[in-house]
């Protein structure tokens, strides 16, 4: 599901939109769903979906893909439901997500639900690695949506989704 819109937010604040889209997903899908920074949707420890946001000029397109049901999924991947939900749930979830996302974006970019995102982000507190050779412990979410990581030397690095590839927890290994 994708939704295109012209945000009232300044372009400099657009990097927060994927995280806000994650919060919209969690509010619609249920509190048992967690988020992996910056764009994965997790249920029962498995990736069940993802969010992609792209902007050009004054238009943003936010998309969410969900595995509603996947009985024989590869390791680490799963479905949101443990049974086939039929044909009605997908469109209803998509519409609810779009409405919640647009509602969240109708406010000030300074009021984005950062604390709610941090509470839902299962990346926080974990040892992570990122390409090309970064490593550290995820310790917070910056006001601008950056992942704050404490490195071995005690310094705090700010990772931005457009600047890194493959944020992995220590248990996920290499891509």
pLDDT given for residue 175 in this prediction: 43
pLDDT given for residue 174 in this prediction: 46
CATH number, domain of 104, equals 3.30.930.10
Total of domains in the chain: 2
Written as one string, the DSSP assignment of the chain is -EEEE--SS-GGGGGGHHHHHHHHHHHHH-TT-EEETTTEEEETTEEEEEEEEEEETTEEEEEEEE-S--TTPPTTB--SSSS--TTTHHHHHHHHHHHHHHHHTTS-GGGS-HHHHHHHBTTTTSEEEEETTEEEEEEEE-TTSPEEEE-TTSPEEEE-TTT-EEEEETTT---
Q: Does the predicted TM-score (pTM) go above 0.85?
A: yes
Residue 139 resides in a domain: yes
Query: Which of 120, 135, 155 is the endpoint of a domain?
Result: 120
User: 40 pairs with which residues across the strands?
Assistant: 36, 50
Let me know whether 61 and 90 are in one domain: yes
pLDDT lower than 50: segments of the chain: 174-175
74: containing domain:
2-120
pLDDT given for residue 30 in this prediction: 94
Let me know whether 26 and 66 are in one domain: yes
CB 117 within 8 A of CB 23: yes
pLDDT given for residue 100 in this prediction: 98
Residue 175 resides in a domain: no
pLDDT given for residue 142 in this prediction: 96
Residue 174 resides in a domain: no
């Amino acid at each position: 599901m994708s939704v295109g819109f012209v945000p009232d937010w300044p372009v400099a604040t657009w990097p927060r939109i994927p995280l806000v889209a994650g919060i919209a997903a969690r509010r619609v899908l249920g509190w048992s769903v967690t988020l992996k920074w910056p764009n994965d949707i997790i249920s029962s420890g498995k990736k069940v979906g993802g969010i992609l946001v792209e902007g050009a000029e004054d238009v943003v397109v936010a998309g969410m893909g969900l595995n509603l049901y996947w009985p024989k999924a590869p390791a680490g991947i799963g479905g949101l439901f443990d049974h086939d939900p039929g044909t009605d749930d997908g469109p209803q979830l998509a519409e609810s997500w779009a409405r919640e996302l647009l509602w969240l974006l109708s406010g000030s970019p300074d009021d984005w639900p950062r604390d709610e995102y941090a509470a839902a982000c299962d990346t926080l507190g974990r040892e992570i690695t990122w390409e090309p050779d970064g490593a550290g412990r995820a310790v917070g979410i910056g006001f601008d949506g950056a992942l704050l990581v404490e490195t071995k030397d005690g310094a705090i690095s700010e990772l931005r989704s457009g600047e890194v590839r493959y944020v992995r927890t220590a248990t996920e290994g290499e891509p």
